[in-house]
Amino acid sequence: MIYLNNKLVPRDSARISVFDHGFLYGDGIYETLRAYDGVVFMFDEHIDRLFRSASMIELGVPKSPDEIKKAVYKTIEANRLKEAVIRITISRGAGPIGLDPALCPEPTFVIFASQFREYPVRFYRKGVNITIAGIRRNYSRALDPRIKSLNFLNNVLAKIEAKKKGAYEAVMLNHRGYLAEGTISNIFFIRDKVLYTPSPKVGILDGITRGIILDAARELQIKIREGRFRPEDVYGSQEVFISNTTMEVMPVAGIVKVMTFPAPGDFTRLLHKAYKKRVAEYIERER
């Protein structure tokens, strides 16, 4: 069952117009969430970011935060899910051909939820390979990465490059050649017992999972450095991992045709364990 605008409809009946500006121009936003045992993790933070994205493209959200929460849980329950991946999508809506947002009188609002499929165990036991992509991250003054927009072609091109190189994920540089983020992840690396990660100032999405990892590191008294880093800074690392809502903390085994890393390393294990603890505490608190 898909939640479309104001009601649940069967998947095969969930249709939007070919004149929807999300389809025509990528004019819209989204959020991906994860439910553990029927509880949506970090729900308020995801909703806040959804509204932030909407405000940054001057898109009216057709529902209040509480209405969105109710609609999400209604969708999860209708699909009889406990472990789930949820996506909320809001597009500018249907309207005549043209870029003017005023052409679209009503946004299109969609929620779908599907069974969460565990990542292969070997990914966490042995790590995944990444590549430093030739495709650069969008310049923040052209399209701010803090907007989780439907304009994903930049990431798609980097993903294509990764697949051609035999890598699981591609990490992009910004327009000045500093490390930014992956196509679907943030990147972290450990050097001399210090946790490094690119600063939001280089032009990245400040991932919710990223924030939890940094909070956990502070609690564990791990030194943190957010800043501007070159690929060479990663090459000298003892550990590397990537993160997002669904993969949590994913160890990196190597950079294709460049070097390998111990995976998972001690810090990666420690931070993943701390992340899991945060999840368990949150689920218990929200029940």
Report pLDDT digits (tens) over 264-287.
999 999 999 999 999 999 999 998
Coil, helix or strand for 270? Answer: helix
Class of the CATH domain delimited by 121-284:
alpha beta
Coil, helix or strand for 140? Answer: coil
Looking at domain 2-115, its CATH architecture is: 2-Layer Sandwich (3.30)
Sequence-ordered strand ranges (E) for 116-202: 128-132, 169-173, 179-182, 186-191, 194-198
Task: State the pTM of this model.
Answer: 0.95
Listed residue (83, 67, 74) closest to 33, CA to CA: 83
List of residues 6+ apart from 98 with CB closer than 8 A: none
Query: Would you call 148 a catalytic residue per the annotation?
Result: yes
Q: Which of 7, 148, 159, 273 is catalytic?
A: 148
pLDDT single digits (tens) 98-143: 999 999 999 999 999 999 999 999 999 999 999 999 999 999 999 9
**Section 150-156 average pLDDT:** 95
CA-based radius of gyration for the chain: 19
C-alpha to C-alpha distance for 203 and 232, rounded to whole angstroms: 19
Domain boundaries, the chain: 2-115, 121-284
C-alpha to C-alpha distance for 135 and 169, rounded to whole angstroms: 13
pLDDT at 40 over 90: yes
Listed residue (177, 190, 180) closest to 155, CA to CA: 180
pLDDT at 38 over 90: yes
C-alpha to C-alpha distance for 115 and 194, rounded to whole angstroms: 36
One fold for both 2-115 and 121-284? no
C-alpha to C-alpha distance for 161 and 177, rounded to whole angstroms: 17
